[in-house]
Structure 1
């Protein structure tokens, strides 16, 4: 079997293998979608292909025309290797906790473009100005929104975008969207919604602020008119709803590829795009949540008919805080950095270690849940229970701690800083927190690039990695150092923790834990056991 439009004609093979296939004519849908586009999406990565594109697929199957024009903002190779060979379709592989698998061919895309290619860029601009295109969504990860560096100054890419032709911005996602809006305004300015589906707090607000930074730079040098600026800032013309997305989608796993080969697929092997493995399939879990603020400037897809929660901003905000700051993301980060230090191969393997299971249990239930607001659409206790007992321990969904550890410096202010701020706002003593400062200390220990066995490892990519490692990479296990001097530049950085930890009791705890974590090989596990009052195994 091959995943392609031609391959779908081998219907008997797919049926024999138990694979769900589209009930509509994919080729006809794609032709129609190119002629009359409706929805543009930037960043057709794994979570998009298996979740958002599946929503579009289901709508199309029901006769609701919302095909997606997918846009790769930078790395055209991913389009060439991951989408083009399969006629823009994806094989969704759902790995259930009981060991069963569900296989679905997903066909929600009608067109795919690489913004870095001139012809594709111009095609995108042609699509973007059309009145029937009313939605642009994004999954480009949080760093794709960065227009400022760690010091708060404009990043080099943003400075270049501001000084260059506003009609021809291809290299930076935020500038690309600003150009899209400019071209749309010049074509008459039909309303449009820009919907971030990236996994960080107040994503729509950050999207709006990043785009407006570019536009303000253009306006300051007279490259765009005040009328365009006013139109872009008019929420009834250009809307930026917030959203929360949740579905664990690890990088494609070789064991899954092997299973698909045994099933008869000849084109589901892993290939490499840069340093990242890509494939025609996406392996994922069954659990999924998408909550969107119902604030659109133009016609939107009927999301609520396809499992999406369309809610008020207040409810979306509460769900986000529950998920991102308490019930999932902080637990993931704790397991990620600790798993790298202890050389665990997968998140699920960590959850079978009683010590690490206790770490996330205490972090969620004892220190996070007391300051959570119930969003009313999902019980925080039920959500946390599902994460702790079903989702993270799923041994059939192999997820690498190093993947979760990427860009940790960008995640800490939301995943932990928001909880700290809520303790302060409610007058709750931070002295009672033990696990949160322990996780901070583990992260500082992780930055050393030395595992608990005393041998080196390579920390995951992070925009601040080089800067942060400069403070701790000289430390050797067993050193007697001035811990305060080493950690002060890190712990005092309110951009990382949302507060200056030295203005709280937490900095002293982090320094104390860190000094014990560097005592020698085996110290990480020993400190975890001591703090959690649980025997190390």
Structure 2
């Protein structure tokens, strides 16, 4: 084992960044960049307060008990490892719903909510970052409209000073800053969404308008919402991961495993200042959109193909999937023939080289990135990963057989049973609607495909109305159902 062990720098002393969404990706990405920055510069102004907004309080308290120290194991391959200690997180808070007796319904909300709002209202807080996943913004994934009828958003509208959602927390914190005469913090989304800064701004302003028009106007005029693109593969930890780290003398339930590759591209719009991230490899640019769309459609789009094709056929991880020549060929075809032609990139960008680099990263034998993890929340992800680009292709008269197969695989995946009949959980905000469609149309493939395509909060109506594309999805669905994965891939290759 080629092992490099990097200890954390001393505590920074001041908290300048508040992060919403204390999960594995944040700990293996943004926190790593800030740790690098602090070690390089000794700047004491950019410690991090990280808040978990969901139902898991264990990580919040576990990090607190560990003195806010943990490790990120960065694997280039199974034999090359950098073990990086992270100490840039200086406070962890919990605002989700605590469980009582294992029953979520009896829990209470917002244990540390007031502490979080106070931290957000502090003059020292100049940047707020988010990794709350696509569904955490409570926006219709197709239209971008705030889901005002969602119970969580409805609760924030009714009791805005006791918010439960990320948009609600931002609105209340900004209201407090406005009332105190403080300049607003910059809001930096780090989630995999197109125009993530603009979508965050949209969610916050729409929610603020339901509270106070003057507040909404102040946010619209004064708050910066730069876009960003983040990239690092961070699988969920497994018992095997913990065992590997224990063999190296590191036994901590807060540790994270990731690939060695890391990237962060940020629109440079920080009125209250920011760290000098460029020295640590962050790309500060005027326009993130080309990089963001490239990553969403090529990397994330490829991941989604594997996530819906693989598990019903008994394929558990990305590494297992790309070990198949047929699936590797599918990904390369999708990336170069369907995704890349929809991109407008800066001069000198080599998308074929980028595709090859992604396939190499997917084949990292040290990572076991579970496909069921990637498959979560597909209804929120597929519009930006596949469907918007495919709509542009169809409007130009171009085919999209790989996406048609992927969409068919997603429909097939949402039944919640693999090809052998074993059940699995479909983890998606629209899971009940999927189940209703399968119950009603499960024996009629044409009606089932039509019912899924008619979900206009997922599938753009113009794409659903495209008869040739709908026929391609139906044909792919029949192939998957009748001939399995191998048969569907063979039919795609013949076509």
TM-score by length of 2: 0.90
Report the counterpart of residue 362 of structure 1 in structure 2: 333
Report the counterpart of residue 167 of structure 1 in structure 2: 161
Q: Which blocks of at least 5 consecutive residues in structure 2 are unaligned?
A: 97-108
Alpha-carbon shift at residue 99 of structure 1 (Å): 2.6
* Aligned residue runs from structure 1 range 308-347, under 5 A: 308-313=282-287, 316-325=288-297, 327-347=298-318
Q: Choose from 232, 240, 261 the match for 1:287.
A: 261
Other structure's SS at 2:51 match:
strand
Alpha-carbon shift at residue 283 of structure 1 (Å): 0.4
Alpha-carbon shift at residue 377 of structure 1 (Å): 7.7
Alpha-carbon shift at residue 71 of structure 1 (Å): 1.4
- How many residues end up aligned between the 2 structures? 476
Report the counterpart of residue 411 of structure 2 in structure 1: 444
**2: CA distance between counterparts of 1:406 and 1:353?**
23
- Residue 49 of structure 1 pairs with residue 6 of structure 2: no
Note closer, same or farther for the CA distance 1:119–1:437 as it changes in structure 2 (3 Å cut): closer
Q: Choose from 456, 480, 483 the match for 1:517.
A: 480
- Residue 435 of structure 1 pairs with residue 394 of structure 2: no
Other structure's SS at 1:328 match:
helix
**2: CA distance between counterparts of 1:410 and 1:447?**
14
- Residue 419 of structure 1 pairs with residue 389 of structure 2: yes
* Aligned residue runs from structure 1 range 389-428, under 5 A: 390-424=360-394, 428=396
**2: CA distance between counterparts of 1:181 and 1:377?**
41
* Aligned residue runs from structure 1 range 155-234, under 5 A: 155-164=150-159, 166-169=160-163, 171-219=164-212, 226-234=213-221
- Residue 462 of structure 1 pairs with residue 424 of structure 2: no
Note closer, same or farther for the CA distance 1:84–1:71 as it changes in structure 2 (3 Å cut): same
**1: CA distance between counterparts of 2:280 and 2:141?**
38
- Residue 20 of structure 1 pairs with residue 6 of structure 2: yes
Alpha-carbon shift at residue 148 of structure 1 (Å): 5.8
Preserved CA contact (<8 Å) 1:201 1:320: yes
Note closer, same or farther for the CA distance 1:101–1:295 as it changes in structure 2 (3 Å cut): same
**2: CA distance between counterparts of 1:212 and 1:181?**
11
Q: Which blocks of at least 5 consecutive residues in structure 1 are unaligned?
A: 1-15, 220-225, 269-278
Note closer, same or farther for the CA distance 1:362–1:136 as it changes in structure 2 (3 Å cut): same
Preserved CA contact (<8 Å) 1:471 1:487: no
Other structure's SS at 1:38 match:
strand
Alpha-carbon shift at residue 111 of structure 1 (Å): 1.4
- Residue 503 of structure 1 pairs with residue 440 of structure 2: no
- Residue 96 of structure 1 pairs with residue 76 of structure 2: yes
Other structure's SS at 1:239 match:
coil
Note closer, same or farther for the CA distance 1:514–1:119 as it changes in structure 2 (3 Å cut): closer
Q: Choose from 101, 108, 125 the match for 2:117.
A: 125
User: Larger radius of gyration, structure 1 or 2?
Assistant: 1
Alpha-carbon shift at residue 289 of structure 1 (Å): 1.3
Other structure's SS at 2:128 match:
strand
- Residue 106 of structure 1 pairs with residue 86 of structure 2: yes
**2: CA distance between counterparts of 1:356 and 1:118?**
45
Alpha-carbon shift at residue 282 of structure 1 (Å): 0.6
Note closer, same or farther for the CA distance 1:354–1:503 as it changes in structure 2 (3 Å cut): same
Alpha-carbon shift at residue 364 of structure 1 (Å): 0.8
Report the counterpart of residue 489 of structure 1 in structure 2: 451
Deviates more, 1:173-182 or 1:440-449: 440-449
Note closer, same or farther for the CA distance 1:437–1:500 as it changes in structure 2 (3 Å cut): same
TM-score by length of 1: 0.83
Note closer, same or farther for the CA distance 1:17–1:492 as it changes in structure 2 (3 Å cut): closer
Other structure's SS at 1:497 match:
coil
Other structure's SS at 1:252 match:
coil
Note closer, same or farther for the CA distance 1:255–1:384 as it changes in structure 2 (3 Å cut): same
**2: CA distance between counterparts of 1:239 and 1:98?**
41
Preserved CA contact (<8 Å) 1:147 1:158: no
Preserved CA contact (<8 Å) 1:147 1:155: no
Alpha-carbon shift at residue 396 of structure 1 (Å): 0.9
Alpha-carbon shift at residue 168 of structure 1 (Å): 2.8
**1: CA distance between counterparts of 2:148 and 2:452?**
19
- Residue 471 of structure 1 pairs with residue 437 of structure 2: yes
Report the counterpart of residue 129 of structure 2 in structure 1: 137
**2: CA distance between counterparts of 1:455 and 1:110?**
47
Two-structure CA RMSD over aligned residues (Å): 2.3
Q: What are the superposed Cα offsets for residues 88-129 of structure 1, whole Å, 9 maximum, x if unpaired?
A: 122010122353211110111121122347673222222222
Report the counterpart of residue 490 of structure 2 in structure 1: 529
Report the counterpart of residue 319 of structure 2 in structure 1: 348
Other structure's SS at 1:159 match:
helix
Alpha-carbon shift at residue 230 of structure 1 (Å): 2.4
Preserved CA contact (<8 Å) 2:53 2:95: yes
Preserved CA contact (<8 Å) 2:64 2:91: no
Alpha-carbon shift at residue 306 of structure 1 (Å): 1.4
**1: CA distance between counterparts of 2:349 and 2:236?**
28
**1: CA distance between counterparts of 2:374 and 2:211?**
36
Note closer, same or farther for the CA distance 1:336–1:345 as it changes in structure 2 (3 Å cut): same
**1: CA distance between counterparts of 2:345 and 2:139?**
33
